[in-house]
């Protein structure tokens, strides 16, 4: 039996009070542990709304989300924040690094928040992530003195520091050139294979989507396609 990192049942989202607009129309799907899923779809189709709900940053108007088998709708704010911080790493297009802090310090920040302090074990893991993301030569640079690609690598390493079982990424390479984009996706895949981290990644890039284990396409708030890419089919 498959084990699921994420399960959604009839998830709906409505925005607005006076004028209500439903932007997600009852989505149901599950994501297997350790899999790499690409979410594609036109701008405005509901991708970010969906990812924020999956990541418990936003609540569905209706329906249910389970993370690692746990229902999130019945959890209190604190329990939810704890589950999120321990289980999920987020990578956004705009990385929100602390500009004055070094790459190394930025990477360790979620650990510090979760544990109140940074120990030798965490530092060693941060060093490992720095090697993995190829940031050795800039690790002591302040975040605002690095290139866009380097900053994005820092945000990826930061998303991994608490060893989350799930990584949610919203167009993580949207502001980068294509060579850097290729490198970063290769890195995400490597992490997926090395740590069996579950990835759900919103992307505009067809090439990237074709390399995923699964492609889900949203169209006007419904799933219009849910497929295994051609190159993965068969045996």
Ligand X SMILES: Nc1ncnc2c1ncn2[C@@H]1O[C@H](COP(=O)(O)OP(=O)(O)O)[C@@H](O)[C@H]1O
* Residue 224 is a binding residue for ligand X (CB under 6 A): no
Quick one: 46 or 60, whose CB is closer to ligand X? 46
Binding mask 108-147 for ligand X (x = CB under 6 A): ----------------------------------------
Residue 122 in tokens: 């965490």
The answer to whether the beta carbons of residues 84 and 92 sit under 8 Å apart is no
User: Exactly one of 5, 23, 154, 191 binds ligand X (CB under 6 A); which one?
Assistant: 23
Q: Is the dihedral of CA 16, 201, 82, 128 positive or negative?
A: negative
User: Exactly one of 28, 44, 100, 128 binds ligand X (CB under 6 A); which one?
Assistant: 44
User: Exactly one of 37, 49, 87, 198 binds ligand X (CB under 6 A); which one?
Assistant: 49
Supply φ then ψ for residue 149, to 5 degrees: -65, -40
Matching residue, tokens 């009839």: 10
Q: Which residues bind Mg ion (CB under 5 A)?
A: 47-48
Distances (CA, A) of 147 to 58, 62, 105, 121, 152: 31, 41, 17, 28, 9
Shortest distance in whole angstroms from residue 52 CB to ligand X: 8
The H or E element spanning position 130 is: helix 120-132
Binding mask 1-20 for ligand X (x = CB under 6 A): --------------x-----
CA nearest to 156, candidates 129, 180, 192, 117: 129
Q: Which residues of 2-15 are buried (b: 16+ CB within 10 A; e: fewer)?
A: eebbbbbbebbbee
Shortest distance in whole angstroms from residue 171 CB to ligand X: 8
Query: Residue 23 touches which of Mg ion, ligand X, none (CB < 5 to 8 A by kind)?
Result: ligand X
Residue 25 in tokens: 């129309």
Quick one: 48 or 72, whose CB is closer to ligand X? 48
Residues near ligand X (CB under 6 A) are: 15, 23, 41, 43-49
């Amino acid at each position: 039996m498959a084990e699921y990192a994420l399960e959604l049942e009839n998830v709906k989202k409505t925005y607005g009070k006076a004028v209500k607009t439903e932007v997600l129309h009852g989505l149901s799907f599950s994501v297997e542990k350790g899999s790499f899923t690409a979410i594609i779809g036109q701008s405005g189709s509901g991708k970010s709304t969906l990812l924020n709900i999956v990541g418990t940053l936003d609540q569905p108007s209706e329906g249910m989300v389970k993370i690692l088998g746990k229902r999130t709708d019945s959890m209190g704010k604190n329990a939810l924040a704890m589950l999120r911080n321990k289980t999920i790493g987020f990578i956004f297009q705009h990385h929100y690094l602390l500009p004055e802090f070094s790459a190394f310090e930025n990477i360790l920040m979620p650990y510090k928040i979760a544990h109140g302090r940074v120990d030798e074990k965490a530092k060693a893991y941060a060093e490992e992530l720095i090697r993995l993301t190829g940031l050795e030569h800039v690790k002591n640079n302040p975040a605002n003195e690095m290139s866009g690609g380097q900053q994005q690598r820092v945000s990826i390493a930061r998303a991994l520091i608490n060893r989350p079982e799930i990584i949610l990424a919203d167009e993580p390479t949207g502001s980068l050139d294509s060579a850097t984009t290729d490198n970063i996706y290769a890195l995400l895949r490597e992490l997926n294979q090395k740590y069996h981290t579950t990835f759900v990644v919103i992307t505009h890039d067809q090439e990237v989507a074709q390399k995923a284990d699964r492609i889900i396409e949203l169209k006007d708030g419904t799933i219009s396609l849910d497929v295994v890419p051609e190159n993965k089919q068969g045996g």
